[in-house]
Amino acid sequence: MKVTVLGNNSALPAFGRYPTSQIVQVHEQLFLVDCGEGAQMRMQQFGIRSDRINHVFISHLHGDHYFGLVGFISSLSLKGRTRDLFLYCDASLKAIIDLQLPWDLGFKINYHFLKEGDAELLLKTDTLEVKSFPVYHSVPTHGFLFTEKKRKRRLLPDKLRQYEIPKYYYKKLSEGFDYTKQDGSVIKNEWVSEAGSPDKKYAFAADTRFAPEMVEHIFQADLLYHETTYLHDLIDKAAQRMHSTTLQAAEIARAAQVKKLLIGHFSSKYKNLEPFIAEVQTIFMSVELATEGSTFEC
């Protein structure tokens, strides 16, 4: 699972930084998380094929998180897309899109409306789960947890052949079951498999005030994106605007026992971002800037 940052700034583009947008890649699938102004240009710049995106997740309806979406959808239509697009968002967004794009797009938009305060399973496949969880901002806002599902057990081909286990039973073995042969003898799972890789988790915490309530949803994530709009000397301003500071994001990362913290949504008042790293590392060492164009692996 990989995360590519398209935009890392807050409400106003500044110093060459674009508003919030990210691409999450799980195997060959691409998912768009938020779509700030200029996201399409960043996709082109960073070599991301927008036609491979089938699912879009919009955390909340502040412009710096969705003003690029109408243009993105329009471009898909102009390119001749016919596959459905799945959009997870606040219910109010549908009326905005319908007003801006009233014609036949050539494909269907399937909406899944997020309910304020809810945590729910949005998408589930054999290899992926995406869940929403509430965060706390000035409008209804959700974070998203991407979990790449790994097989519980890794099969050992030589042992499978040795014990003459049929292929139809491989999935059961990967789930931890033993195999019973026709003569009643049992082939123990541990004879033909070994422990698989653990699931990988990426948590996108969106815009939020300091919210220890979210820890249960992001606990032990491999990678956590958390906003740090301000350095900690502006904690009062952060509280007033329902944003977070460097030290608050670090406290969340430490409490959630995440492996790595990715920080972004920087206020346009800051040109130099290095102090953000320095402040976070007084509490939580494993941190990186959400530098645009960078890709981070879980």
Residues 183-205 pLDDT 10s: 999 999 999 999 888 899 999 99
For residue 159, the enclosing domain spans 153-194
Question: What pLDDT is attached to residue 17?
Answer: 97
114: which DSSP letter? P
Among 58, 132, 144, 134, CA closest to 94: 58
Regarding whether 132 and 229 lie in a shared domain, the answer is yes
Cα–Cα separations (whole angstroms), residue 293 to 47, 229, 258, 289: 10, 19, 23, 11
Question: What pLDDT is attached to residue 119?
Answer: 97
The total domain count for the chain is 2
Regarding whether 180 and 48 lie in a shared domain, the answer is no
Question: What pLDDT is attached to residue 196?
Answer: 82
Q: Give the helix/strand (H/E) hosting 224.
A: strand 223-227
Regarding whether 208 and 180 lie in a shared domain, the answer is no
Confidence of residue 69 (pLDDT cuts 50, 70, 90): very high
Regarding whether 260 and 170 lie in a shared domain, the answer is no
Which structure tokens are listed for 54? Answer: 């089938």
Confidence of residue 47 (pLDDT cuts 50, 70, 90): very high
Task: Report whether pLDDT(244) > 90.
Answer: yes
Q: Do the strands 193-195 and 153-155 form a parallel or antiparallel pair, or are they unpaired?
A: antiparallel
Regarding whether 80 and 18 lie in a shared domain, the answer is yes
CATH number at residue 268: 3.60.15.10
Question: What pLDDT is attached to residue 151?
Answer: 72
Rounded to an integer, what distance in angstroms lies between the CA atom of residue 120 and that of residue 45? 34
19: which DSSP letter? B
Regarding whether 143 and 229 lie in a shared domain, the answer is yes
Question: What pLDDT is attached to residue 250?
Answer: 98
Phi-psi region of 38 (alpha: psi -120 to 50; beta: other; left: phi over 0): left
Q: Which residue has the higher pLDDT, 151 or 90?
A: 90
Q: State the average pLDDT over residues 221-245.
A: 98
Contacts of 218 (CB under 8 A, 6+ apart): 133, 143, 145, 201, 203, 205, 224, 252, 256, 258
Write out pLDDT tens, residues 13-42.
899 999 999 999 999 999 999 999 999 999
Q: What is the mean pLDDT of the chain?
A: 96
Regarding whether 188 and 143 lie in a shared domain, the answer is no
Rounded to an integer, what distance in angstroms lies between the CA atom of residue 262 and that of residue 43? 20
Regarding whether 66 and 115 lie in a shared domain, the answer is yes
Q: Do the strands 140-148 and 128-136 form a parallel or antiparallel pair, or are they unpaired?
A: antiparallel
Write out pLDDT tens, residues 113-167.
999 999 999 999 989 999 999 999 999 999 999 999 987 888 999 999 999 999 9
Q: State the average pLDDT over residues 228-257.
A: 98
Query: What is the percent of the chain with per-residue pLDDT over 90, rounded to a whole number?
Result: 92
Residue 154, number of CB atoms within 10 A of its CB:
13
So which residues are the catalytic ones? 64
Judged on CB neighbours under 10 Å (0-12, 13-18, 19+), 157 is exposed
Regarding whether 169 and 270 lie in a shared domain, the answer is no
Confidence of residue 107 (pLDDT cuts 50, 70, 90): very high
Question: What pLDDT is attached to residue 174?
Answer: 87
Among 146, 147, 144, 153, CA closest to 171: 153
Contacts of 277 (CB under 8 A, 6+ apart): 263, 287, 288, 289
Regarding whether 119 and 257 lie in a shared domain, the answer is yes
Rounded to an integer, what distance in angstroms lies between the CA atom of residue 220 and that of residue 25? 20
Among 194, 226, 250, residue at a domain's last position: 194
